Amino acid sequence: KRLAVFVSGGGSNFRSIHEAALGGRVNGVVVALVTDKPGCGGAEHARCNGIPVILFPKSKSSPEGVSLTELLNALRNLKVDLILLAGYMKLIPVELVQAYPRSILNIHPSLLPAFGGKGYYGLKVHKAVIASGARYSGPTVHFVDEQYDTGKTLAQRAVPVLANDTPEKLAARVLHEEHQVYVDAVAAFCENRIVWREDGVPIIRSRR
């Protein structure tokens, strides 16, 4: 399958997926990196690896960016099958969600539906988890709908919250699992191993 990854930050999830694709663990190829932050680590990594970088959206600080129509055309021309949000900090336009039904995934650093939604990003998530007294946290891979963090959950991993945790330590422990669970979920998509239960819940079939 042909993958486009959306990134605003360091891009460690993007890198692990790209490596998995190069190494054959994911039966796919990263054909574009979309970013609102042309100087971010993810964009840098894409340029170093010959992956086309698309700047989106066009804004005052990024006048060289592309419009939504241009983005949709570019993704269509690249024959993108799957869009992966990996630390992309902007809400995805409805038109994009509708153009890629059941074909956009996001990773979030908590066990959704807990600690998700607009205010929950970065270390704020982990701070809130620790303050709540929850004993487990962990990443969620979910399909993307029109709102933040509300699409159907595809995969999760449990990570213990320790008695002396700091948001930074918990974030690092969760991030490590993010890399595994996202690669596994993308591998499943690329092998057509995602089945939709009658009630609309996506399930990953194991390899036969």
The catalytic residues are: 108
Report, in Å, the least distance between residue 21 CB and ligand GRF. Answer: 15
Nearer residue to ligand GRF within complex by CB, 5 or 196: 5
Binding site for ligand GRF (CB under 6 A): 7, 9-14, 86-87, 107-109, 139, 175, 178
* Smallest distance, ligand GRF to C-beta of residue 39, A: 14
Nearest approach, Cβ of residue 117 and ligand GRF (Å): 13
Place of tokens 């969760």: 174
Whichever of 91 and 195 has its CB closer to ligand GRF, that residue is 91
Q: Indicate the residue whose CB is closest to ligand GRF.
A: 87
Cβ 11 to ligand GRF shortest distance, Å = 5
Please state whether 70 falls in left (phi above 0), alpha (psi between -120 and 50) or beta: alpha
Q: Name all contacts of 26-30 with Cβ < 8 Å and 24+ positions apart.
A: 26/183, 26/186, 26/187, 26/190, 27/1, 27/187, 27/190, 27/191, 28/1, 28/2, 28/3, 28/81, 28/82, 28/186, 28/190, 29/1, 29/2, 29/3, 30/3, 30/4, 30/5
Please, which residue, 17 or 198, has the CB nearer to ligand GRF? 17
Q: Tell me whether residue 109 or residue 202 sits nearer to ligand GRF (CB atom).
A: 109
Rounded to whole angstroms, the Cα distance separating 204 from 208 reads 12
